[in-house]
Structure 1
């Protein structure tokens, strides 16, 4: 049979927060993949190495986890007063599927640096030394993210002393502002309002499983917050306690599907399989002493509460950035399960414990005409280029 050469596509492999992904400029993709559709999905799956029945991603750039099976497409902004469009694809590991229904808050931190380094930000707006402000249009959900990117000698500063639990080495701090994260977006990930059911707390009936107290919120990403004790957990669990328990994972997936229906994201629970990225499921508990996955001892007095979150059917090793936005928002609103676990009352920031350590996130929420809204959520992350050049895929991929 005739030999088909591989395609060579300019790309950058980046860490953003506690995630990694393959970044592309839209203009560098093959023509057929420059528009949404099967050709684009096929390309990104082949880049990552999915679907992989061995769940290893040996023949691709993915890492066979929800944190490392990601692709990002960046282009010049399509909306006024923004620098770039940021489109995120969560690639399934063992299925032929790319989920475009939500954002990745962790990789959001890498968008500004990538945009600057690739000439997508007006050079006049990038200081020689200081902070470059990059206005990002998150195209999946129709939201604005403002990235404050450090610049030194005209280049993005990547090294520094900012430490992020879940990331081994320190780097330069990048501050992110997620504007109006609770308003209804324009993408597939949108749910109606911050609290789609109109309640701060609901009783969520899960067929065949049971009924659970839950806060269903849309802020940063649709999320379902549960009470750890009601599930039989203490809130300090690490990955193995959940991910090695097939029955627990099945129960969480059933809860996620029922919550998605209750939030109006899907019509039937069966559709949840086509929407793996959203909503997220997390459980919360009051602060207590614990030992993180790195062996670090964290005292109850160092945090406000514990949160453990699942992503793509597994307990996350740290915390998804978009879920952190939802946590900060829910914590700022008296009466939610997150707020109760944090001790109640009004607050504009919260520090929570996760499997890898702690994270602080701020949110400015207010009650307007009987409806809660949040103007912005703020958190710090870091990002670094791991490799750049070109990724290669078989020529018959697209």
Structure 2
């Protein structure tokens, strides 16, 4: 993938560094091997050395002092390569830890910066990520105990968990250490990203934040999580576009490259529009997050842009991945070809932090508030 027009030299250098790591540790052959072996420890170690787990957190909390846009650029490159690593899981969990501002956060981020995996455990059944949790939290000595079941937890094995639960004083956010919860990994649609269910049975936990501040932290975090996921989706959509165009140049039918046929031309043109539209929205959303406006729960523009980006990029990634497979024809449906891996990730990402319809509802809510305010 070429350099992104308009990015500064630092971010361009970051992309190049990530591409070098991916070239060494996430080649097509290495990605294929991860289908059996699981996420690559060598790749994760290399990404940690680049400083990616806490890249987007301020130095005052122990982070690298970068911005969400920096991590988004790295995740876009990882999306291109289908990188089998927990970077997305760790990135969004670190964002939630930072959003709480709890005294224990610097120590937790130091562990993450050293390569310790941390992931969020928020969803329960069909309820949304921000729904009132059924998991209960009760005081126990100097700490807390949590009881409940969390679903759709990405990269859960051996990971520290950031868990939402209901306390006597309202919603709460907690840290659960590895080994104190029962983790069951099940076969997900994305064969390169482990997903599991976490069962908590009077599991010891440390409180980060509770009450209204916890609810606000979850709201603002959801914007960052959605935009970071959108970056991965833009990357995989770009990879699918590149695959389709390259195949259309070399696949010959009726004596001509299929790229010379009008139907294929139009399909590739539509794919290009979807990718560039997604990248434009991602650019706007990361700009808002980098300015710190995403952390304000009352900022309607931040909510509108991030929600619109999340919904559009999810749809675009799925559409482009499906069109890529269509361009490839019969070979695209085979196990040996990479098309299905991109489509699987696109479909899994589509609902990872909320479906496109959920994000559009959030965007429409902003517009309704603005219309009501203008009419009053």
Q: TM-score, normalised by structure 1?
A: 0.30
More strand by share: 1
Higher relative contact order (CA 8 A, sep 6+): 1
Higher helix share: 2
